[in-house]
């Protein structure tokens, strides 16, 4: 199976600044990459699919990029509600696999 | 708007069984694949199983193959997963979500907690 590795495990950024989260695949997944946001005690919410397409209702401050094995989620102008956990997921090959998550915390 | 509501979680003994349900509303249930994804306490997400819209095709993660069975009743807009031969490492919140094993998952239900302990 494809192993997804997210870095860093915890990212400290100040409100209003920009956060850059990374996700690496153990082999190419083309653009079959999704990002999810998970707030404490809640289910994940889809942010990005196709590596760069925002899901319905997702603010424009969330953007995704990358291809093959290297992917990035950028969150500009961080707001208080953005300081939660983010997961990446590949769906190029069965089984779909997730990274271990990045926790975004307030600096 | 699509909504998924899981139920059936609880405490089970090692070797025991549980059946989880996921009731769906707000979309044409029978044309969508549904998956179960789990999250152990403080851990990441793990895909468990998927069933096609007509229920004819299923796939499982290797670590649940032979122990878990996914099914659906399109007349009741409900998907199920039967958990047998439970192990401590199966302790997790189990989510159902719209999505196949070669796609993204959206939306997700709120999850139901399964605890395997003696």
List CB contacts (< 8 A) between A34 and chain B.
104-105
In this complex, the residue of B44, B102, B111 whose CB is nearest that of residue A43 is B111
Task: Assess B59–A contact: CB distance below 8 Å, yes or no.
Answer: yes
For A53-72, the pLDDT digits (tens) are: 999 999 999 999 999 999 99
Contact check, Cβ <8 Å, A46/B104? yes
* B27/A contact by beta carbon, under 8 A: no
Cα of A37 vs its chain's centroid, Å: 7
Provide the pLDDT confidence category of residue B101 given band limits of 50, 70 and 90.
confident
**How far is Cα A30 from Cα A61, in angstroms, rounded to an integer?**
24
Per CB-CB distance under 8 Å, the chain A contacts of B59 are: 94-95
- Indicate the DSSP class of residue B108: B
pLDDT 10s digits, A25-44: 999 999 999 999 999 999 99
Whether the CB of B41 is below 8 Å from some CB of chain A: the reply is no
* Each residue's pLDDT tens digit, B76-98: 999 999 999 999 999 999 999 99
pLDDT in tens, A10-28: 999 999 999 999 999 999 9
Residue B29's φ and ψ, nearest 5 degrees, are -55, -45
Closest chain A C-alpha to B31 CA, distance in angstroms? 20
Q: Say if B36 is an interface residue toward chain A (CB within 8 Å).
A: no
Q: Give the confidence band of B110 by pLDDT, cuts at 50, 70, 90.
A: very high
Quick: pLDDT tens for A64-103.
999 999 999 999 999 999 999 999 999 999 999 999 999 9
Dump pLDDT digits (tens) for B59-78: 999 999 999 999 999 999 99
C-beta of residue B101 within 8 angstroms of C-beta of residue A94: yes
CA–CA gap between residue B37 and residue B86 (Å, rounded): 16
User: How many A/B residue pairs have CB atoms within 8 Å?
Assistant: 58
């Amino acid at each position: 199976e494809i192993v997804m590795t997210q870095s860093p495990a915890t990212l400290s950024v100040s409100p209003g600044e920009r956060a850059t989260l990374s996700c690496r695949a153990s082999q190419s997944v083309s653009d079959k990459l999704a990002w999810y946001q998970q707030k404490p005690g809640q289910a994940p919410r889809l942010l990005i699919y196709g590596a760069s397409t925002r899901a319905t209702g997702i603010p424009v401050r969330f953007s995704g990029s990358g291809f093959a094995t290297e992917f990035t989620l950028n969150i500009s102008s961080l707001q208080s509600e953005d300081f939660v956990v983010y997961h990446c997921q590949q769906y190029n090959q069965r089984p779909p696999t997730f990274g271990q998550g990045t926790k975004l915390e307030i600096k | 708007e699509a909504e998924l509501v899981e139920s059936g979680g609880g405490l089970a003994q090692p070797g025991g069984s549980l059946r989880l349900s996921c009731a769906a509303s707000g979309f044409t249930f029978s044309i969508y694949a549904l998956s179960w994804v789990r999250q152990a306490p403080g851990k990441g997400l793990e895909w468990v199983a998927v069933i096609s819209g007509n229920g004819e095709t299923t796939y499982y993660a290797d670590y649940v193959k032979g122990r878990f069975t996914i099914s659906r009743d399109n007349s009741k807009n409900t998907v199920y997963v039967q958990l047998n031969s439970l192990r401590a490492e199966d302790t997790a919140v189990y989510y159902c979500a719209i999505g196949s094993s070669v796609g993204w998952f959206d939306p997700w239900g709120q999850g139901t907690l399964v605890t395997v302990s003696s």
